[in-house]
Structures are given as C-alpha cells and as structure tokens.
Amino acid sequence: KTNEYIENLVIGSGYGGAVAALRLTQAGKKVVMLEMGLDWEKEGGKYKPFSNLITPKNNSTWLRKSTQAPMMNISRFNKKFTGVLDRMDFENVKVYAGRGVGGGSLVNGGMAVQPKKQYFKEIFPDLDVEEFWKTYFPLAQKELDVNQISDKYYNDTPYYKFARVGESEARKAGFKTIRVPNVYSFDYMKKEEAGKVPKSALAKEVIYGNNHGKQSLEKTYLKKALTTGLLSIHDLHQVDYFQQTEKGYAVYVNVLNTEGEVVEKKTINCKKLFLNAGSLGTTKLLLASKFKGKMNNFDPSLGEYWGNNGNVMTGRNMVNTLFNRVENEATDSNFRPGTGVKQSTIPVSGIDNWEDEKHSFFAEISPLPMGMEVYTALYLIINKVPTPGSISYNPKINDIIVNWEKKNYKHTVKNAKYFIKKMNKANGGTPSGLLWKGGYGPDICYHPLGGAVLGKTTDLYGRVKGYENLYITDGALVPASIGVNPFLTITAVAEYCMDEIIKSDYQQC
Ligand code: FAD
C-alpha cells in the first residue's frame, strides 16, 4: 500500500528523533514520526501501568516470553507483547534498548551527565567545544527538565542509603565521588516518600518504565512538538529499509500488532528523511538499505566506530563488611551493614576516576532494589573504547551482526577488577558472583554508541554523505564512547545538528 507524500519523515522517537521533531515543527514544518514500539499514552494509557522490577508483566519485555533483565529474577509470560524493554543479543554483547514513543527515555535511569570537556574534544575533535558548553548542553538540560537532588534529601532519606554507603566506601578507598543530575523529579520523589502521591522510583519502577516522576521525552520534547499541531506519530510502525526515489525516499514499513505480527505493509514516500532509530537501529537501517535498496553511495565508514561506552557491570558482595558506616550519620539503620532494604531506583551519584590515566573510568553507583537487604553493591562502570568494534549486515537473516571481541573490552574488565579490588581492600567484601559468573558483566550494554559517526558517515552536521536530504541525529553519531551516561550528549549533538540543518537546508522550502 502506498501512502501520501510526506515532507519530513522521522524514524524513531528517542532523543535524536524528539529533538528533530521539536525543532522542525517549531520552524513551521509538518513532521510524521514512525516508531516501532507502542505509544504508551494512547487510549488513556491502555497498556500501562508499567511493571516494577519484582513482578514484571509482559508489557515489560519486547516480544519475548520471559524478562531479559541483566540480573533480576526471570519472569515468564504466556503471550509475547510489544513491551518496553528490548534486548538484542549478539555473540559477545547484549544490547538493551527502550521501545515505544520516547525510546530509551522510557526505560533509562535518567542520569543526565555532562561529559568531561577534554574527552568530548578527543571524541569530537572538529566540534566547537566552547559552543557546546555555552549553548547546546545548557539547552539540552533545560529542555530535558534536568534537576539535582538536594544535599538534605540525599542525606536524610533511607532510600539513598545505598548511594551514601557507595560514596563513603569509595572515598575510603581513595576515589573521588560526585553527585549526578537526573530527569526524575526529586520534588515528586519527596512527595512519594511522604505518601502524598503514587510511588514510582520508590516502588521499584525503572527499566520496565516509570509510571510517575520521570520527565521522559513524551513529557518534554515530544509533548512540546505535539502542541505545535504539526507532528503526527505512528506507533507500531517498524521500518524495514528505504530506497532513493526521484522525489526523495521510499520507506518500507511493517505495521505490527501488539503480539509483534505484521498486520500491514506500507510504503511511505518522503522528501527529507531523519534516521533516529538509535545506534544499532539507525546503522541497521542504513546497512539494510544499502543491500536491499541498492544505496551504494554511503561512506565506507558506515558500520565502523561502534562501542558499548565501555560498559561493564560489576558488584561487591558485602556480607563480610560488618561496619560500612556512612560518614556523618547517626540514625541506627545507617549503622547497620548493607545498602538498605529501601532503595530508590534512580541513581544520583558516581565515582569519578577519569583523571587516572592508567585506570580511567566513571562508575555509576547503582541501586539494586530487591525489597530485602542483599548485601550487594552494584556499579555500572563506563570506560574509554580505544579499539572500537563494528557492525555488519547479514542478508540471510535481514539483521545486523555486532563484531565485538575480547580486544574491544578486555581493558574494561581490567579497570573493573582494579576498582573492586581497591574497594574491597579498604572496606572488606568480595567480587559478587551472585550477579555474574566471575563477578563481571562486560557483555551487558546499556549505552550503544556509533555505527554512523559524525564527520565520517555524515558531514559535521549529521547529513549522510553520498545522499541529499538524509540525516542522522541520534546515538549512531557518537563514536563508541563518551565516558559518561550518554543521553545528554546525544541530545546536545542533535540540537547542534538541527540548528544548522534548519538554518541551511530549509531556506528555499
Ligand atoms: P533511542 O532512545 O534508543 O531511540 C530510538 C527509537 O527508535 C526507539 O524508540 C526505537 O524503538 C525506535 N526504532 C528503532 N528501530 C526502528 C525501526 N526500524 N523502525 C521504527 N522505529 C525504530 N543513558 C543516560 O544518559 N543515563 C541513564 O541513566 C541511562 N540509563 C539507561 C538504562 C537502561 C536500562 C538503558 C537501556 C539505557 C540507558 N541509557 C542511559 C542509555 C540511553 O537511554 C540511550 O543512550 C538513549 O536512549 C539513546 O538515544 P537515541 O536517540 O540514540 O536512541
């Protein structure tokens, strides 16, 4: 079935897609957005509430009969559903992604971290770093509704004992700790604790969606774009590939039902096409279109410079750490060992070891809200990726292969081991075998980056080389690692690209 001709088509509704949609609609342009996941707000939120970590329903998981969380208990379902958290499994890496209108913002921890200036320069040598610090990062922070936990609430609430213990232990081991901004509203969280509003972060909701409190994209960028009246979003529209036509691009779409079956096939014709399906999604669309759509003009760098942001998950078993006391605290419960029965799902602190050249890393102090004291400290460590991996396309399965070998991640495990050893030496504890065999999870990726990199596969503003009116403004642009949780950077880079694209590519429209 062939639909009408669309002026501006955006594929994907995560950070890159949301920025593109807002800036285009604000410039008075009509935009159609296609999203393979559900619009979770439609029909009065019919498919919600989102699941918590302990008793997930099938809306937690993208088209599988059991949950795929990195370390929580596995729940099974009778029926597959187009749930909110997906996991794409490759030989040495399992990549998580959000599905639905809002993309990763629906499932992530909300940490809005600005990268180190020096590392940003290293990753993007051709960008004007001062302009980013002056304009695009502050803009992204404002539009995403970033806020910071107050010292008082952080110090007082039992829900952040895990973070206080984490910081205090890290300092004892000689590491520097920092507090990290977030898009979860801390005013809302305080009200949750006071029993004034429904609980979300304090009721173990996060990777399967937050029902309240988080300013995910459907409440910020996408909401603003929709109020212009110029944006229409089609959910359960999964793009297979696209092809160049005389008037732009023909985009081939499978329309899904909530069990993932294809109920309709559509061809949508457009003039300008914005690819924002996330690092793996965008790279897959380009590679599939090269093969199936005979688009042979892409730059040879397509599929290169992919990385997991140096992600490695690790933890410490604290059963034998009898007195991991928190500095300056007096309440009895805080003098007990462990990380606390009550835990907010929203991380707010980290360990900044970036300046240590031999072991450069940033570690997120992560919650592990199991509803009981598990005597386990959890960390998501983020590293440099000096040897990036790559992505190729296998036409037999119409899918991508992520080429990610030991050489790409062995230094991340080294850094994690160094960190755990130092923490245990200062505080007691052992590497946590409870979480992963051997205690380290270098195959868990929350932060896929790259594959169609800025300045290589695209020009310096996200215009795909070799074609006109074809753009990328998402995580595929960032080569392999940014050294901190990435969505603030992805948003800032998208803002910078859209600024130029709207100024220069729409003049005569
Ligand atoms: P995405 O947000 O992934 O958006 C891409 C969208 O495109 C998705 O909605 C997808 O369904 C859609 N799509 C894909 N393929 C197609 C197709 N073929 N057709 C139609 N639609 C398609 N980052 C942080 O900075 N802080 C955090 O605290 C944090 N925590 C995280 C926790 C988890 C569990 C996960 C999974 C990620 C976390 N991240 C975090 C990472 C962050 O969410 C991602 O870096 C970010 O969402 C990437 O933005 P994007 O625009 O590149 O792509």
Q: Which two tokens stand for residue 125?
A: 């040598």
> In the predicted model, is pLDDT for residue 427 greater than 50?
yes
The kind and range of the H/E element at 490 are: helix 487-505
Predicted confidence band at 321 (pLDDT cuts at 50, 70, 90)? low
Task: Kindly report, residue by residue over 120-154, the tens digit of the pLDDT.
Answer: 999 999 999 999 999 999 999 999 999 999 999 99
pLDDT at 346 (0 to 100) = 98
Predicted confidence band at 442 (pLDDT cuts at 50, 70, 90)? confident
Amino acid at 310: G
212 part of the active site: no
| Residue 239 near residue 245, CB atoms below 8 Å | no
Q: How far is the CA of 448 from the centre of ligand 1 (A)?
A: 9
Amino acid at 437: K
pLDDT at 1 (0 to 100) = 56
Task: Kindly report, residue by residue over 390-399, the tens digit of the pLDDT.
Answer: 999 999 999 9
Q: What is the dihedral of CA 128, 131, 136, 142, to 10 degrees?
A: 160
Average pLDDT, the chain: 94
Q: Which two tokens stand for residue 44?
A: 């009065």
| CB of 127 sitting under 6 A from ligand 1 | no
Residue 457, CB-side half-sphere exposure with 13 Å CA sphere: 28
Task: Kindly report, residue by residue over 444-495, the tens digit of the pLDDT.
Answer: 999 999 999 999 999 999 999 999 999 999 999 999 999 999 999 999 999 9
Atom of ligand 1 nearest to the CA of 364: 28
| CB of 276 sitting under 6 A from ligand 1 | yes
Residue closest by Cα to atom 30 of ligand 1: 108
Task: Kindly report, residue by residue over 29-72, the tens digit of the pLDDT.
Answer: 999 999 999 999 999 999 999 999 999 999 999 999 999 988 76
| CB of 95 sitting under 6 A from ligand 1 | no
What contacts 503, CB < 8 A, 6 or more positions away? none
> In the predicted model, is pLDDT for residue 210 greater than 90?
yes
**3-class DSSP string for 386-434:** CCCEEEEEECCCCEEEEECCHHHHHHHHHHHHHHHHHHHHHHCCEECCC
Residue matched to tokens 């890290």: 170
Number of CB atoms found within 10 A of residue 319's CB: 14
**ipTM of the predicted structure?**
1.00
> In the predicted model, is pLDDT for residue 335 greater than 60?
no
234 part of the active site: no
Q: How far is the CA of 86 from the centre of ligand 1 (A)?
A: 10
Instruction: Look at the alpha carbons of 418, 176, 138, 156 in this order and tell me if their dihedral is positive or negative.
Output: positive
> In the predicted model, is pLDDT for residue 331 greater than 70?
no
Predicted confidence band at 317 (pLDDT cuts at 50, 70, 90)? confident
d(CA 177, CA 2): 55
Q: How far is the CA of 106 from the centre of ligand 1 (A)?
A: 8
Q: What mean pLDDT is predicted for residues 143-171?
A: 96
| CB of 11 sitting under 6 A from ligand 1 | yes
pLDDT at 69 (0 to 100) = 84
Q: How far is the CA of 104 from the centre of ligand 1 (A)?
A: 3
> In the predicted model, is pLDDT for residue 437 greater than 80?
no
| CB of 485 sitting under 6 A from ligand 1 | yes
Sheet holding 94-98, edge to edge: 85-89, 94-98, 444-445
Residue matched to tokens 């707000």: 41
| CB of 487 sitting under 6 A from ligand 1 | yes
Predicted confidence band at 298 (pLDDT cuts at 50, 70, 90)? very high
pLDDT at 330 (0 to 100) = 43
Query: Ligand 1 pocket check: which of 15, 222, 284, 344 to mutate, most ligand atoms within 8 Å of Cβ?
Result: 15
| Residue 98 near residue 84, CB atoms below 8 Å | yes
Predicted confidence band at 334 (pLDDT cuts at 50, 70, 90)? very low
pLDDT at 329 (0 to 100) = 47
Query: Ligand 1 pocket check: which of 11, 274, 487, 493 to mutate, most ligand atoms within 8 Å of Cβ?
Result: 487
> In the predicted model, is pLDDT for residue 336 greater than 70?
no
pLDDT at 337 (0 to 100) = 66
Residue 409, CB-side half-sphere exposure with 13 Å CA sphere: 26
pLDDT at 318 (0 to 100) = 83
Residue matched to tokens 């972060």: 201
Q: How far is the CA of 275 from the centre of ligand 1 (A)?
A: 13
Indicate which residue of 364, 373, 468, 495 is catalytic: 364
Q: How far is the CA of 487 from the centre of ligand 1 (A)?
A: 8
Residue closest by Cα to atom 9 of ligand 1: 103
Q: Cα-flanking dihedrals φ and ψ of residue 5, to 5°?
A: -90, 125
d(CA 124, CA 407): 23
The predicted model scores a pTM of: 0.97
| CB of 380 sitting under 6 A from ligand 1 | no
